[in-house]
Structure 1
Amino acid sequence: MAHMTVATDEIPAWLTICSWIGLALAVACAVGLAVDIARRPQHMAVMSLVWPICALFGSVIWVAAYIAWGRAPRRGSPESGGMGTTLGRAATPRSMGSSVFLGTSHCGAGCTLADLLVEWLLFAAPSVAIVGGLHWVFSDELFAGWVLAYVAALIIGIAFQYFAIAPMNPDRSRARNLGAAARADVLSLTAWQIGMYGVMAIAQLAVFPAWLGGPVATDTAVFWVVMQLAMLAGFVTAYPVNWWLISAGVKERM
């Protein structure tokens, strides 16, 4: 059954204000990382996108992680030549925990882009939900949106994974690297989406209907703060899966 969504003017003002503050902080973190990375290019090019994208949901947590594990020497400095190799690996091996953090973030960046794209697409053109199964599989747009977001996340995630794997395996064919990217990303992304969808379901199907009378609309700040929390939950559920994938050699250690 479809639900009437709750608009901004129906949400407590304090909650909207707090949400905007949280979103503004996250955007500021993402912009700050993008500016710093432009001056300090990542040894693995795709990570130049991953760090600021993940800051959109992880905010100061990902800024701290970037400073601890990801910040490269300034462009043109003597140290910059030794930061990475043509294979895209860091010159100094990272701990397993930090490598898994980077690998999980890599997965999360694809999920973030997919959800941004799908949520705003459904907001602008609700009929697109039919492609995800609305009316012929699901009666609620939420579930149809999840199907579309999952497919989009797979496409983007595998592309991100390919551009992480290919530089580290230049002797392999594109097809082999693409296959390796798919194997590495499908399980990781599925684990991420389980955590993310779980939080969104609790919020949109239980908490907000009981509190506000329905799920919050996509164009509200509160919706996107909940999405941030859902992404963090996705990170938590995907982290142990990425640890196993890296330990088993299915996913490259970053």
Structure 2
Amino acid sequence: MVPVWLYWLAWSALLLAGAGTVVVLYDIFGRGYRQRMRVMEAVWPVTALYLGPIAVWAYRRYGRTNSPKWLAHNRTQDPRDKPRWAVIAVGVGHCGAGCTLGDILAEFAVFALGVEWLGRALWPEFVGDYLAALALGILFQYLAIAPMRGLRVREGLVRAAKADVLSLTAFEVGLFGWMALMSFVFFPNPHLRPDSVTYWFLMQIGMVIGFATAWPANVWLIRHGIKEAM
């Protein structure tokens, strides 16, 4: 059984994250702070799904300032300079958005299909999560670098893969380790499932851990010019 306090904490965290996502979406599309790099219009709201108020603060500080509306209002052509940690954080968030969407889609797909291996859904979830994260992560990276560099589709996809595979793998390593703890340690019997709010609250924590494990990979990728600084 899930403790009552954890159940209500899960609801609070999910509602707070949902509110943060709505705030960012409204600011971008309702108030017109569209992003110069269009893929970031998906990255910022998705990041709020697990980082909540932190993502909202980061968006207002380093996302909105990339908007043509903000630049025109402040009579400048240059976005606000980001410190190095913020450059890395945005890069990790870009990778994490693809991973997060992929994980959500795969988790619900595995649950809906009732797929298990060795008596657990965890192993099919690992496979589905990684493949979906790989597809969406590369797509997000392609949408970031191909228009910027004027690349053709094949060349853009190759560069996107080089820039994102290491990063998203590092993100998933952190998340998968946490999922294993969820399955084998915290809730071994009965297992939490994706139709539980507690499950998604714990997945939020896993995504924060994935954000942390992806950080060193992004430092290396950006330092060596393999991944674009955003």
Q: TM-score, normalised by structure 2?
A: 0.92
Query: Does residue 193 in structure 1 map to residue 165 in structure 2?
Result: no
| Number of equivalenced pairs | 227
Residue 72 of structure 2 aligns with an amino acid whose one-letter code is P
CA–CA distance in 2 between the matches of 1:81 and 1:110?
33
Deviation per CA, 1:38-73, whole angstroms, max 9, x where unpaired? 120111110010000010011011111112211135
Query: Does residue 245 in structure 1 map to residue 224 in structure 2?
Result: no
**Equivalent in the alignment of 1:30:** 21
Shift of 1:166: 1.0
Question: In structure 1, which of residues 207, 213, 229 is the aligned counterpart of residue 205 of structure 2?
Answer: 229
Residue 203 of structure 1 aligns with an amino acid whose one-letter code is M
Larger radius of gyration: 1
CA–CA distance in 1 between the matches of 2:90 and 2:61?
11
Query: Does residue 177 in structure 1 map to residue 156 in structure 2?
Result: yes
Residue 121 of structure 1 aligns with an amino acid whose one-letter code is A
CA–CA distance in 2 between the matches of 1:60 and 1:76?
21
Shift of 1:239: 0.8
**Equivalent in the alignment of 1:15:** 6
Q: Percent identity?
A: 40
Alpha-carbon distance change, 222 to 48 in structure 1, aligned in 2, over 3 angstroms: same
Question: In structure 2, which of residues 99, 115, 118 is the aligned counterpart of residue 111 of structure 1?
Answer: 99
**Equivalent in the alignment of 1:208:** 187
Deviation per CA, 1:149-196, whole angstroms, max 9, x where unpaired? 1001000000000000012201x3221111100011110000000001
8 Å Cα contact 1:204-1:214 kept in structure 2: no
**Equivalent in the alignment of 1:47:** 40
Deviation per CA, 1:90-146, whole angstroms, max 9, x where unpaired? 64542221111111000000111011111111222114x5xxxx3xxx553201111
Residue 43 of structure 1 aligns with an amino acid whose one-letter code is R
8 Å Cα contact 2:102-2:136 kept in structure 1: yes
Residue 199 of structure 1 aligns with an amino acid whose one-letter code is W
Residue 114 of structure 2 aligns with an amino acid whose one-letter code is P
8 Å Cα contact 1:191-1:238 kept in structure 2: yes
CA–CA distance in 1 between the matches of 2:71 and 2:214?
36
Gaps of 5+ in 1: 1-9, 84-89
Residue 147 of structure 2 aligns with an amino acid whose one-letter code is P
Task: Classify the secondary structure of the residue corresponding to 1:20.
Answer: helix
Gaps of 5+ in 2: none
Alpha-carbon distance change, 58 to 143 in structure 1, aligned in 2, over 3 angstroms: same
Aligned-CA RMSD value: 1.9
Q: TM-score, normalised by structure 1?
A: 0.83
